[in-house]
């Protein structure tokens, strides 16, 4: 018995020591990774990702990558309903790389391998601050998105809209012209899918105010941020477009039975005039199965102007993070693959995204973005990294964080006209104020 | 052999058998008990604990006493969500009536291909919930399945509501999907119960000149009341915790179809207010318990004799499922 005990004890100590030893051998940072080195790395990578629509493309990347790194095996697991599933699995060991779900910033280090300091990586890549905490990056974006509005060029021309609308009033006027002069649905809300409605939250920061600090620094401290600013800017102006469109009958007739996959060829074929979605949706609409006119799909900036100037919010798509519980080989191999995806795969360009590599090329869809400034949200102030997510949770409004219901309600009330837009915004203000009070947030 | 032995020397054997019994019972019970405690009672105790805290998945912001519970009863949207259960309860009554109707017809009458009818009616129960979501989205879409059928029998499209958009009908549309799915299941339970009635009773009744309705009232209904009770309790508690139709057909509870269960889901997974969600879940459980007790009291009063056999049969039927 004693022998057994001592054996176990010895085993524990050996294991403990190896654990310490491997932890001490630090991983290189993301910028230190050079493709073409370490080609004998052997590891198995399990890659959890949300792009269920492009398995062939992703497997093609794996094949391409394995020409240089033949001993690294990569297996993609593509998950529908990704945001929720990933959140449940983030602490597990059954994945090596995953698209980082909405975990709180101070918990990033609990799940993900640090990729390097923000200071260094920010000079080389776009949107690095999104998944960083206290100056350390934990994820690298797959591609960048600029947020604007999808529209059908032919329908706009037929409706006599020659100049792209720049303000909410011009936009509603354009939608009315579409309704009068064409058979297209002026604004397709994609109400039923839910997240497509939450997509409207993306415009309340940079696009509605022109300020990079708005989303993470001003909004948490703002008093009644959803009140009418009187000049067609601010969050009020953004959601007002949706309310007015619903109230004036400028949206699809039976919005409760919309079909996300079905809407793609409809925009392409001119049955839909506009849709408010990020630029990532552009390629999906253009290349939609059953679409006859890919050349008609256009992309424009969100119709809010601040002192005559338009701004487009830009940011990284899902960031890739590496599991902190993986072995050293797996972590290193994952680094090489992510580096390859960022520099060699051409993923961002082919997806119509803003390049992650600062030397990367912009695709043509941003042709209409001439003179429009692309800005990404500034980070929260030090010590307030989790404030926005806490306010989101407390107020139950959940901006940019799955708060789809509140936007769907705008459509419902607009359509039924049973609650004025002012009342809805007043409710939001009340919820926001209450959340600020319960979290003792200083209101400026 | 041991049986005979124990009869011969009762005192000597009993001790040893008891000891063995205890060992066997302990060993066999240990595994399921362990699993039950680990996966049911510990999480349940945690849920009770969480319901008194303001907490997310990862952060505990402190004890708040009964605040979470108070919010459940004072916030209009939660009370409204609870009232949605009334739609599903009404649906449950229709569902049971239909199921009983089909079960009696298929058992009493000699219908050619009765097996096929049973299978057809039972089939919806086997369809996956997500598939039902797709089926009924298209079923209710303007100008699609339901509308074309109604147009074919002469109702103009303009006279028809938008089945999911109009809030005056959309909850009924969702209740219908639920009835469609569970009616067959209820029916099969009823058929099973009816089959256990002695067929000579019908013969005797026929000789006495009883018609079908009288047979149903005097023979079938008393014969199946325990299973009827079980079905009723399952349906009513199911209505209180309705989730699937509103989630998969009603776009995750959009447009005024969010049941209390969906509100809990949103609270826990979107807003990540775990404490609040736990309190809501506790209230839901209390409601279900209350309704179950009320129903049992009611039926104890209405049909006294069935009570004794109720538990045994209910358990049997549950085990079957």
pLDDT tens-digit series, residues A353-362:
888 888 888 8
Ranges of each domain in chain B:
2-50, 69-320
Q: For A215, which DSSP code?
A: I
CA distance A33 to B108: 78
Tokens of residue A218, six digits = 């001003």
The predicted complex's ipTM stands at 0.78
Q: Identify the pLDDT of residue A296.
A: 93
Confidence of residue A130 (pLDDT cuts 50, 70, 90): confident
Q: Identify the pLDDT of residue A88.
A: 87
CB pairs under 8 A between A and B: 66
CA distance A188 to A273: 8
Q: Which residue of B has its CA nearest to A106?
A: B58
pLDDT along chain B (321 residues), means of 10: 48 65 90 94 95 85 90 89 93 94 85 87 89 88 90 89 90 93 92 89 87 86 87 89 88 89 92 92 93 85 57 55 51
Q: Is the pLDDT of residue A209 over 60?
A: yes
Q: Which residue of B has its CA nearest to A198?
A: B270
Place of tokens 């869809």: A365
DSSP A101-149: -S--GGGHHHHB---EEHHHHHHHBTTTTTTEETTEE--EES-EEEBEE
Note the pLDDT tens digit of each residue in A90-104.
Answer: 988 899 999 998 888
CA distance A323 to A97: 6
Contact A105, A321 (CB under 8 A): no
Instruction: Give the architecture-level CATH label for domain B69-320.
Output: Orthogonal Bundle (1.10)
Out of A187-196, A418-427, B109-118, which region has the weakest mean confidence (pLDDT)?
B109-118
Q: Identify the pLDDT of residue B237.
A: 87
Q: Is the pLDDT of residue A51 over 80?
A: yes
Residue A37 in 3-state DSSP?
coil
Note the pLDDT tens digit of each residue in A283-342.
Answer: 889 989 888 999 999 999 999 999 999 999 988 889 999 999 999 999 999 999 999 999
Average model confidence (pLDDT) for chain A?
A: 89
Q: Identify the pLDDT of residue A361.
A: 83
Best mutation target among A104, A246, A257 (most B Cβ atoms within 10 Å) is A257
CA distance A98 to B267: 25
CA distance B102 to A138: 61
Q: Identify the pLDDT of residue A6.
A: 61
Q: Which residues of B touch A401 (CB under 8 A)?
A: 270
Comparing CB atoms, the residue among B162, B258, B269 nearest residue A84 is: B269
Q: Which residues of A touch B252 (CB under 8 A)?
A: 194, 404-405
Q: Identify the pLDDT of residue B177.
A: 93
**Domains of chain A, with CATH numbers?**
27-141+317-366 (3.40.190.10), 146-310+385-438 (3.40.190.10)
User: Which residue numbers of A have CB closer than 8 Å to B's CBs?
Assistant: 84, 104, 107, 191-194, 253-257, 259, 392-394, 396, 398, 401-405, 408, 412, 416
Integer-rounded Cα radius of gyration of chain A: 24
Comparing CB atoms, the residue among A192, A193, A396 nearest residue B271 is: A396
The answer to whether the CB atoms of B273 and A396 lie below 8 A apart is yes
CB proximity list for A306: less than 8 A, separation 6 or greater: A209, A210, A233
Shortest Cα–Cα distance, A34 to chain B (Å): 37
Is the pTM here over 0.80, yes or no?
Answer: no
Q: Identify the pLDDT of residue B6.
A: 47
The answer to whether the CB atoms of B141 and A257 lie below 8 A apart is yes
Confidence of residue A64 (pLDDT cuts 50, 70, 90): very high
Q: Identify the pLDDT of residue B307.
A: 45
């Amino acid at each position: 018995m004693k022998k057994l005990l001592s054996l176990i004890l010895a085993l524990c100590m050996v294991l403990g020591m190896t654990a310490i030893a491997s932890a001490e051998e630090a991983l290189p940072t993301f910028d230190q990774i050079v493709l073409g080195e370490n080609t004998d790395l052997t590891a198995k990578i399990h890659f959890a990702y949300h792009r269920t629509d492009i398995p062939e493309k992703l497997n093609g990347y794996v094949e391409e990558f394995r020409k240089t790194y033949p001993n690294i095996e990569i297996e993609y697991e593509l998950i529908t309903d990704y945001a929720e599933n990933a959140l449940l699995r983030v602490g597990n060991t059954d994945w090596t790389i995953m698209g980082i779900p909405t975990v709180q910033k101070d918990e990033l280090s609990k799940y993900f391998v640090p990729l390097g300091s923000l200071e260094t990586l920010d000079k080389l890549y776009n949107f690095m601050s999104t998944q960083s905490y206290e100056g350390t990056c934990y994820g690298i974006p797959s591609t960048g998105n600029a947020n604007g509005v999808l529209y059908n060029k032919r329908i706009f021309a037929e409706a006599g809209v020659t100049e792209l609308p720049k303000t909410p009033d011009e936009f509603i006027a354009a939608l009315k012209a579409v309704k009068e002069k064409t058979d297209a649905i002026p604004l397709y809300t994609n109400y039923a899918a839910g997240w497509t409605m939450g997509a409207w939250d993306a415009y309340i920061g940079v696009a509605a105010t022109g300020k990079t600090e708005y989303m993470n620094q001003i909004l948490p401290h703002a008093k009644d941020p959803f009140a009418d600013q009187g000049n067609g800017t601010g969050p009020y102006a953004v959601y007002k477009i949706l309310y007015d469109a619903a109230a004036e009958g400028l949206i699809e007739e039976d919005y409760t039975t919309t079909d996300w996959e079905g809407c793609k060829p409809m925009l392409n074929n001119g049955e839909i005039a506009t849709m408010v979605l990020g630029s990532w949706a552009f390629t999906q609409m253009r290349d939609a199965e059953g679409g006859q006119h890919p050349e008609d799909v256009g992309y424009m900036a969100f119709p809010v102007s601040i002192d005559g100037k338009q701004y487009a919010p830009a940011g990284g798509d899902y960031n890739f993070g590496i599991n902190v519980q993986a072995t050293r080989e797996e972590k290193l191999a994952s680094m090489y693959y992510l580096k390859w995806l960022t520099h060699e795969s051409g993923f961002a360009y082919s997806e119509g995204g803003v390049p992650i590599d600062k030397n990367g090329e912009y695709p043509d869809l941003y042709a209409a973005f001439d003179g429009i400034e692309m800005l990404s949200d500034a980070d929260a102030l030090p010590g307030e990294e989790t404030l926005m997510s806490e306010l989101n949770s407390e107020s139950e409004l959940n901006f940019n964080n799955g708060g789809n219901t509140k936007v769907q309600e705008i459509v419902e009330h607009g359509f039924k006209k049973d609650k004025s837009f002012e009342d809805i915004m007043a409710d939001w203000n009340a919820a926001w104020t209450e959340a600020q009070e319960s979290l003792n947030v200083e209101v400026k | 052999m041991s049986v005979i032995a124990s009869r011969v020397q009762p005192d000597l054997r009993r001790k040893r058998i008891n000891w063995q019994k205890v060992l066997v019972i302990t060993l066999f019970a240990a595994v399921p008990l362990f699993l039950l405690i680990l996966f049911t009672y510990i999480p349940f105790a945690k849920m009770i604990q969480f319901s008194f805290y303001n907490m997310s998945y990862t952060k505990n912001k402190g004890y708040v006493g009964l605040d979470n519970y108070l919010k459940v009863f004072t916030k209009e949207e939660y009370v409204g969500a609870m009232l949605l259960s009334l739609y599903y309860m009404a649906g449950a009554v229709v569902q049971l009536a239909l199921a009983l109707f089909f079960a009696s017809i298929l058992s009493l009458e000699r219908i050619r291909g009765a097996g096929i009818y049973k299978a057809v009616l039972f089939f919806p129960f086997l369809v996956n919930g997500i598939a039902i979501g797709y089926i009924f989205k298209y079923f209710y879409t303007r100008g699609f399945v339901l509308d074309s059928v109604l147009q074919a029998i002469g109702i103009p499209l303009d006279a028809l509501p938008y089945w999911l958009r109009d809030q005056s009908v959309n909850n009924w549309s969702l209740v219908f999907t639920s009835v469609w799915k569970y009616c067959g299941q209820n029916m099969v339970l009823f058929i099973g119960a009816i089959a256990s009635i002695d067929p000579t009773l019908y013969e005797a009744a026929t000789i006495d000149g009883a018609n079908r309705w009288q047979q149903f009232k005097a023979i079938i209904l008393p014969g199946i009341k325990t299973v009827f009770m079980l079905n009723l309790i399952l349906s009513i508690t199911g209505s209180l915790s309705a989730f699937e139709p509103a989630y998969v057909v009603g776009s995750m509870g959009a447009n005024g179809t969010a049941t209390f269960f969906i509100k809990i889901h949103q609270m826990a997974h979107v807003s990540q207010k775990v404490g609040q969600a736990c309190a809501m879940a506790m209230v839901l459980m209390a409601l279900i318990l209350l309704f179950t007790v009320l129903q049992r009291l009611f039926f104890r009063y209405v049909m006294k004799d069935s009570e004794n056999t109720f538990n045994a049969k209910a358990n049997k039927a549950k085990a079957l499922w």
